[in-house]
Homo-oligomer: A and B are copies of this chain.
Amino acid sequence: MTSASKSLTAETLIVQEVAPRDGLQIEPVFVPTEAKIALVDALSAAGFTRIEVSSFVSPKAVPALRDAAEVFAGIARRPGTVYVALVPNLKGAERALAAGADEINLVMSASETHNRANMGMSCEASLEAFGHMVAAARGTRATINATIATAFGCPFEGPQAVEKVEALVARYGDLGVDGVTLADTTGMANPRQVADLVRRTLARVPAERLTLHVHNTRGAGIANVLAAHGAGARRFDAALGGLGGCPFAPGATGNVCTEDLVSLCHEMGLETGLDLAALIGLARGLPALVGHEVPGQVAKAGRPCDLHPAPARKAA
């Protein structure tokens, strides 16, 4: 396992930055390869121990990430940081391993309907494909994470039975993956549900191997992260600027915003090991990179400690 497990106290929160992958994959503009590399390098310098760098998907399906291999080849690897690649299938896994990904992140949905729409196959077929991908990664130095998308609800089917998600976690364990991600793919989760599913999952997966992937689609992202943390989760995906989005919700926010989450954690005394001022600086550069405003708030408002000069006193 990764170095993230070395000091995972109750006052720690490990943020895995996913903007280069989940953030950029939905953007209509192609961010130049050099800019992606510079972003990942800047994220490394800001202290992230885990960065999801890109996705080895079909360039037709996600043209924004067609340069995944070039990005992996170009980044400066910070010792102790795990550079992750999302992979949808065996071919993607082989490309990611060849590109030198430290970890491959497999993905399927709890929802049969969502999996068929998103992955083009049944959930059982996805699990079978996982077996081949795990076999491909074994014997390499790469670790394997596997994501359960729509774990907290599916935009087509609605709520997903916790027993179904728990059974998938068990199947993932049988396959021998190193880590599991519970994903609230379209921001349907609520804090009570999150705390319940986290507690159930921690019965099977130790905290240093469990990641929560939370979207802020309905404004509950940070509340869900804090609920998961209260229930024992320690590792969270987040995206700089709150990049990302939801194909079913035009105008909705994307992933939970890294710098908003990190600012709040630091205010609460939770340790992230991250350089918040650097994150805010990077987030302020995102609109120029993607061509539009981004949802993150702290980059606009500043940290709570960034005080303002008092205005001239009103006449009494």
Contact = CB atoms under 8 A, between A and B. Distances in A.
B219 A257 contact: yes
Contacts of A293: 251
Contact of A190 (B218, B264, B308): B264
A218 B297 contact: yes
A301 B260 contact: no
Contact of A120 (B125, B191, B315): B315
Contact of A268 (B121, B192, B263): B192
A191 B226 contact: yes
Q: For the complex, would chain A's binding face be called helix, strand, loop or mixed by DSSP majority?
A: loop
A307 B156 contact: yes
Nearest to A253: B297
Nearest to A215: B301
Interface of A: 113-114, 116-121, 125, 153, 155-158, 186-188, 190-193, 216-220, 222-223, 226, 246, 248-253, 257, 260-261, 263-264, 267-269, 293, 296-298, 300-305, 307-311, 313-316
Given A114-B310, A219-B222, A249-B302, 12 more contacts: A117-B313, A153-B304, A156-B308, A156-B309, A157-B307, A187-B301, A190-B268, A192-B268, A192-B269, A219-B261, A223-B226, A249-B300
10 contacts: A113-B310, A119-B314, A153-B304, A190-B267, A217-B301, A218-B298, A222-B222, A249-B301, A252-B301, A253-B297
